[in-house]
């Protein structure tokens, strides 16, 4: 697999190398040692969940407060999604920056997002299913919401009409308002989390 850093520091694309035969394809979606070598971070799966969305649904921007945090590897396993990673870490060299990845089952491109990074995506097809591998179990009340349509972020959604959003996402603050309210993690706190957990490879 090819693991490359995005325009947002510490966020990585994971691009598998398919092996075709007469039955179809085989590929590795995740290898612990390869991810650890590329990122320097340990990744332990503690929760797995899926979303299923209609075409035009826009989810996010969502992050998780520290503690507990919740790093993620995100893959589109059905349909297609235009996915944005946004740096929510106050003090980060790429704070407020974003990168864009088109995800679908054909490329099988995944995104690795450690703590402090926000995720948003718009479903490009009906019945789009996105899979999350998470480093922590979900804790009610710890989700950070930022407006995916914040004009200051200027995310390139290329929407043809108003997206379908939850009431919570529609009411989310701008990045500047979330920072002013003290809702966002600091870059320093996130770095401590990235390197806190021991790994069998150490």
Catalytic center residues: 62, 132
Please classify residue 33 by burial: count the beta carbons closer than 10 Å to its beta carbon, then call 0-12 exposed, 13-18 middle and 19+ buried.
exposed
End-to-end CA distance of the chain: 22
| Rounded distance between C-alpha atoms, residue 168 and residue 173, angstroms | 10
What single string gives the DSSP state of each residue in 30-46? Answer: --HHHHHHHHS------
Instruction: Tell me if 14 sits within 8 A of 83, measured CB to CB.
Output: no
Tokens representing residue 79 in the block = 């349909």
């Amino acid at each position: 697999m090819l693991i490359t850093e995005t325009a947002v520091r510490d966020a990585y694309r994971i691009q598998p190398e398919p092996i075709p035969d007469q039955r179809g394809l085989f590929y590795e979606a995740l290898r612990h040692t390869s991810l650890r070598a590329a990122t320097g971070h340990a990744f332990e799966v503690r929760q797995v969940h899926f979303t299923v969305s209609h075409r035009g649904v826009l989810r996010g921007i969502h992050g998780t407060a520290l503690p507990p945090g919740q790093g993620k590897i995100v893959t589109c396993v059905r349909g297609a999604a235009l996915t944005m990673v946004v740096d929510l870490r106050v003090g980060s060299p790429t704070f407020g920056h974003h990168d864009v990845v088109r995800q679908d089952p054909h490329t099988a491109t995944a995104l690795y997002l450690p703590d402090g990074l926000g995720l948003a995506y718009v479903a490009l097809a009906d019945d789009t299913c996105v899979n999350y591998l998470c480093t922590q179990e979900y804790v009610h009340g710890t989700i950070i919401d930022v407006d995916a349509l914040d004009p200051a972020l200027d995310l390139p959604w290329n929407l043809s009409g108003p997206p379908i959003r939850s009431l919570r996402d529609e009411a989310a603050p701008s990045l500047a308002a979330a920072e002013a309210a003290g809702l966002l993690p600091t870059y320093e706190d996130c770095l401590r989390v990235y390197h806190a957990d021991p790994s069998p490879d150490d």
